[in-house]
Structure 1
Amino acid sequence: MSSKDLRTAVDKVVRNGNCTGCGGCALLASNIEMELDSDGFMRPVFRKDFVDSSPDMTRVFERMCPGISVTERTDPTLSHHPTFGKYFSSWEGRAIDETVRRTGSSAGVLTALSAWLIDSDKTGRVIGSARDAVRPTRTVPVSITSREDALRSAGSRYAPVANLPLLKTDGADNAFVGKPCEASAAKQLFDMAGVSDESRPIVLSFFCAGTPSQNATEGLIRKLGVEEESVGTLDYRGNGWPGDFRIGLVDGTDREMSYQESWGGHLGRNLQWRCKLCVDGTGGHADIAVGDYWHADAKGFPVFTDAEGTSVVIARTRRGEELLQEAAAAGIVSLSPLDLRKVAAIQPLQVTRKNTLLARLIGRRLGGKAVPRYRGYKLGRLALSDMPNSAKSLLGTYRRTIRRMGPNR
């Protein structure tokens, strides 16, 4: 297959608005780079010297790219939840170290596990993301090799970043923290290569409601009356739960906005199209996935007032379960059993999005766009459980598709 074949396959994903910005294609081909486009999303760019290094590269890309297909785990020994997918065990958890717990977005579990994996010599490095040291309004992939690195990378980054290009594919001496779509692409790649579970990198993921545009972050900066060159630090969450959107200025002063306003009013309203068609926003292809276990009010709705962070922690594989139990025994994380039905009650967005996904896929197709293929998720059954919202989602998606035909719209 020629380099034109791979370019055509990648361009088709982008053109139809199905690119997640995960960087899987850049992991396959070193002459593809991930860059922000004019809409503020990470997209693959082919360098002029691009040459296809393998005749099977297009075939591999088409199987691993989450903008083309995603397949549910098939292990019959795993439990199953209609919203959260296949899992080995589920827990309410937090980091034992209070500094880590408070620095992290919810309860510091991913930060604590990342530092522990390195300190216990289970891996030489952990791939993650962090604030750009040179341009702090941006987010970049990083290689974490110490506890100090892990703490610097703590906290959610509600912005485009592609971590996969940093992943080593020739051995298990690296762990990976990434979005659910990145975890899916990594699993597909290692499945195709026939890599045993023990020889794969440990994959950690998190609950994801979608990737906001970088333009949304820049809009928040302007809304707070700040020029980009005056920004010294930028944190989307952390230092509390859920924590505020916080800009530290070079003059030593701060500007803040609540999580509810920053995410609900701005960032969450500027998501890329593919995220609105996501079949797995809860890290179903990772070894361990972590999300917010929000407090609820009397009616069961999540409450975003500041509190000590608590997470839902899901072991997706036997290896993930063994790692969690070892980390708990080592005093790294605290775990107590948790019924995922309770999590569904305070993660209503994930539930509704999953139930109405088939309708949005149909609306998108009726609007003339190709959509990803999802296997094993029983989307028809979920759609039937919520027909009124499914009907609204189908019509709304169709209207938005024909009204805004750009690749990110």
Structure 2
Amino acid sequence: MKTVRDQVTQVVSADACSGCGVCTILDRGLTMALDDAGYLRPTPTAPVDERDGAAERFARICPGKQIVAQRPAGSTRHPLLGSYFAVWEAWAVDPEIRHRASSGGALTALQGWLLETGRATQVSTAAADPARPVRTVPIRLMSKAEALAAAGSRYAPVGVGQLATADASHAMTAKPCEASAVRAWTNTEGEAPILLSFFCAGTPSQQATEQLVRDLGGPKPEAVTDLWYRGRGWPGRFTAVSADGEVSTDYDSSWGRALGPTTQWRCKICPDGVGESADIAAADSWESDERGYPTFGEREGRSALIARTERGLEIVRAAHAAGVIEVRPLDPEQLAAAQPLQTARRQYLAARLWGARLGGRSVPRYRGFRLLKLSAEHPRLAVRALRGTLLRLRAARRKDDA
């Protein structure tokens, strides 16, 4: 049996690593660090120090090896949004939380309420690095005030999964791949923490953040004293602050033109950008134009919340009853229409995976998502997706060989 470290090397070499960080729990001699391309990867920094049985369990836990669609008993299955017990449009009742957070503040409000009521003794999540705010680090929240201070999306590499605990008195707000890995790991260790997640379009390179600051006329990375990607409105503006003032740009420009195009390869073939392994998943509840595309005009933030487990359903209902969040039912089809990137990615993923295989890439194993069925529903578009993936990989290979 290969060690965890041997298997990690294979995943990284195949460009299948998502940077979740859970492998550092399996082998405590691994540390997450940025590679030359600006993505977070496990790096040996000490001798092998594996937990008992870690090597055998790695393939079931690592999102670069496998992801299994969750189908809790009693849930309803949506082909593009995954399993759910209820779907709502939601927002934080506290206007400060609603304004500061990225999209209505529902997750931030839930984090603060879980801590304030003692339902969770800590919440693991991501926030700006206090020593270098242009970077993002995993942190543990211990209070509602800390939850508010950490509010807002971070479109940058971070491995919250390395803080995972098999403890139901803890909570974690993490990317879908991290939630999947933690769910799989805790299935063999004990009880899963309360898992909160969000719709994720992928992890951009850290270099993209730093380049965007420079393109906006901002300072060197070490001179940035504060940086946020969204929030302070909805969707909010990318903003970098330094002693010389601040630079900023709108969400469509920051994500659509600068950050989004640099998402790592593993994210481009992700079957689950919608947080299926979480107890509760959140998303932007965008309004759409006449073509059906989301509009990003500034307004009061609104989240979509999906209860994916009975535990998640109970938490949302209790937080609503306590006056922490406001909710109203949301048709899953309306949410799917407001998230065209997520739905299109899953719709044609089987075709893209075959294109990747034909292009010489090994890909993770995805179980229970019925991806072949989805791609087969639109065969012409699926063939186009396969061909496009294959051509891009061949072009990238020629560039590397040049």
Q: Look up the equivalent residue of 1:264 and give its one-letter code.
A: G
Shift, 1:257, TM fit = 0.5
Who is 2:252 aligned against? 260
Q: What are the superposed Cα offsets for residues 247-286 of structure 1, whole Å, 9 maximum, x if unpaired?
A: 11123x2211010000000100001000001000011000
Matches within 5 A, 1:181-330: 181-193=177-189, 195=190, 199-226=191-218, 227-251=220-244, 253-330=245-322
Match 1:29 to one of 4, 27, 30: 27
What is the CA–CA distance in structure 2 between the aligned matches of 1:136 and 1:207, rounded to whole Å? 23
What is the CA–CA distance in structure 2 between the aligned matches of 1:357 and 1:325, rounded to whole Å? 34
Matches within 5 A, 1:150-169: 150-169=147-166
Who is 2:352 aligned against? 360
Match 1:389 to one of 364, 381, 392: 381
Instruction: Give the secondary-structure state (helix, strand or coil) at the position aligned to 1:94.
Output: strand
Who is 1:132 aligned against? 129
What is the CA–CA distance in structure 2 between the aligned matches of 1:48 and 1:167, rounded to whole Å? 20
Who is 1:113 aligned against? 110
Who is 1:16 aligned against? 14
Instruction: Give the secondary-structure state (helix, strand or coil) at the position aligned to 1:353.
Output: helix
Range 119-128 or range 382-391, more displaced: 382-391
Who is 1:83 aligned against? 80
Range 312-321 or range 394-403, more displaced: 394-403
Matches within 5 A, 1:332-351: 332-351=324-343
What is the CA–CA distance in structure 2 between the aligned matches of 1:317 and 1:354, rounded to whole Å? 21
What is the CA–CA distance in structure 2 between the aligned matches of 1:49 and 1:192, rounded to whole Å? 24
Q: What are the superposed Cα offsets for residues 133-155 of structure 1, whole Å, 9 maximum, x if unpaired?
A: 00010000001001121011100
What is the CA–CA distance in structure 1 between the aligned matches of 2:60 and 2:188, rounded to whole Å? 8
1:377 equivalent to 2:374? Answer no
What is the CA–CA distance in structure 2 between the aligned matches of 1:405 and 1:318, rounded to whole Å? 46
What is the CA–CA distance in structure 2 between the aligned matches of 1:173 and 1:320, rounded to whole Å? 14
Shift, 1:224, TM fit = 1.0
What is the CA–CA distance in structure 1 between the aligned matches of 2:313 and 2:51, rounded to whole Å? 38
Q: Look up the equivalent residue of 2:224 and give its one-letter code.
A: V
Shift, 1:76, TM fit = 4.1
Who is 1:178 aligned against? 174
Q: Look up the equivalent residue of 2:17 and give its one-letter code.
A: C
What is the CA–CA distance in structure 2 between the aligned matches of 1:216 and 1:35, rounded to whole Å? 16
Q: Look up the equivalent residue of 1:323 and give its one-letter code.
A: I
Who is 1:42 aligned against? 40
Q: What are the superposed Cα offsets for residues 333-353 of structure 1, whole Å, 9 maximum, x if unpaired?
A: 001111110111111111110
What is the CA–CA distance in structure 2 between the aligned matches of 1:233 and 1:17, rounded to whole Å? 31
Q: Look up the equivalent residue of 1:287 and give its one-letter code.
A: D
Shift, 1:386, TM fit = 2.4
Q: Look up the equivalent residue of 2:114 and give its one-letter code.
A: L
CA contact (8 A) 2:76 2:85 kept: yes
Instruction: Give the secondary-structure state (helix, strand or coil) at the position aligned to 1:380.
Output: helix
Instruction: Give the secondary-structure state (helix, strand or coil) at the position aligned to 2:3.
Output: helix
Shift, 1:53, TM fit = 4.1
| Count of residues in correspondence between the two structures | 398
Q: Look up the equivalent residue of 1:244 and give its one-letter code.
A: R
Q: Look up the equivalent residue of 2:150 and give its one-letter code.
A: S
Q: Look up the equivalent residue of 2:314 and give its one-letter code.
A: E
Q: Look up the equivalent residue of 1:58 and give its one-letter code.
A: A
What is the CA–CA distance in structure 1 between the aligned matches of 2:186 and 2:390, rounded to whole Å? 36
Instruction: Give the secondary-structure state (helix, strand or coil) at the position aligned to 1:303.
Output: coil
What is the CA–CA distance in structure 1 between the aligned matches of 2:201 and 2:381, rounded to whole Å? 18
What is the CA–CA distance in structure 2 between the aligned matches of 1:273 and 1:187, rounded to whole Å? 23
What is the CA–CA distance in structure 2 between the aligned matches of 1:383 and 1:348, rounded to whole Å? 15
Q: Look up the equivalent residue of 1:256 and give its one-letter code.
A: S
What is the CA–CA distance in structure 1 between the aligned matches of 2:3 and 2:116, rounded to whole Å? 44
1:99 equivalent to 2:100? Answer no
Shift, 1:61, TM fit = 1.1
What is the CA–CA distance in structure 2 between the aligned matches of 1:104 and 1:59, rounded to whole Å? 40
Q: Normalising by the residue count of structure 1, what TM-score does the alignment of the two structures yield?
A: 0.94
Q: What are the superposed Cα offsets for residues 155-190 of structure 1, whole Å, 9 maximum, x if unpaired?
A: 000000001111222x32310000000000011112
Instruction: Give the secondary-structure state (helix, strand or coil) at the position aligned to 1:138.
Output: strand
Instruction: Give the secondary-structure state (helix, strand or coil) at the position aligned to 1:161.
Output: coil
Q: Which runs of 5+ in 2 are unaligned?
A: none
What is the CA–CA distance in structure 1 between the aligned matches of 2:384 and 2:40, rounded to whole Å? 30
CA contact (8 A) 2:26 2:51 kept: no
Who is 2:142 aligned against? 145
Shift, 1:387, TM fit = 2.3
Q: Normalising by the residue count of structure 2, what TM-score does the alignment of the two structures yield?
A: 0.96
